[in-house]
Structure 1
């Protein structure tokens, strides 16, 4: 059983403060996404088109409020020189976790969406 299948969903009070940040289509996944967020880390694999997937460990600072900032650090292939970090509001990071969970349900792989990697590598327009 994967770590994602054993996530304890967040309680209603924790979920309600995040609701205004997401469209209805994503609100259903919020309890599990916040449950994953509260775990503070996840192991997965970055899918590379036409190549082998690269394992990673992601870890982040957990706080209670959607507007607080969190720092997420990814280390690829257990190599310190392949470490990256990004800081963003919790509600934005939880949005990426919603997408990660949706991707897991679809493809059975733990990986962040492309938008997360663009932000991690400083390629986003924001």
Structure 2
């Protein structure tokens, strides 16, 4: 009886954890965060728009990142928008981040940027 109670409690905890996670969360787990500011229109390839921009981590360390967006009607991302990229880079010593290493991104408001990032983008 005690084993069934313990098993039920564990299954309930796991189910509540899974239900509480949003779909994009697995892409964000154990990922490094970099920030970019959208500049330009990007380049269209195979119904995807690719951007190559400078990206900064929370310490202000710069890397060059290439990532893609897929929007309806091949729309571009909003000019000057700030994005937080979730990156899983195989070799963290590399200064280039490849499109396949960018797992997810989300728009960030200027006031929510870390201070060092604001300085890098001149967004004080």
Q: Same fold (TM over 0.5)?
A: no
Which of structures 1 and 2 has the bigger CA Rg? 2
Larger helix proportion of the pair: 1
Q: TM-score, normalised by structure 1?
A: 0.26
Higher RCO structure (Cα 8 Å, ≥6 apart) = 2
TM-score, scaled relative to structure 2: 0.27
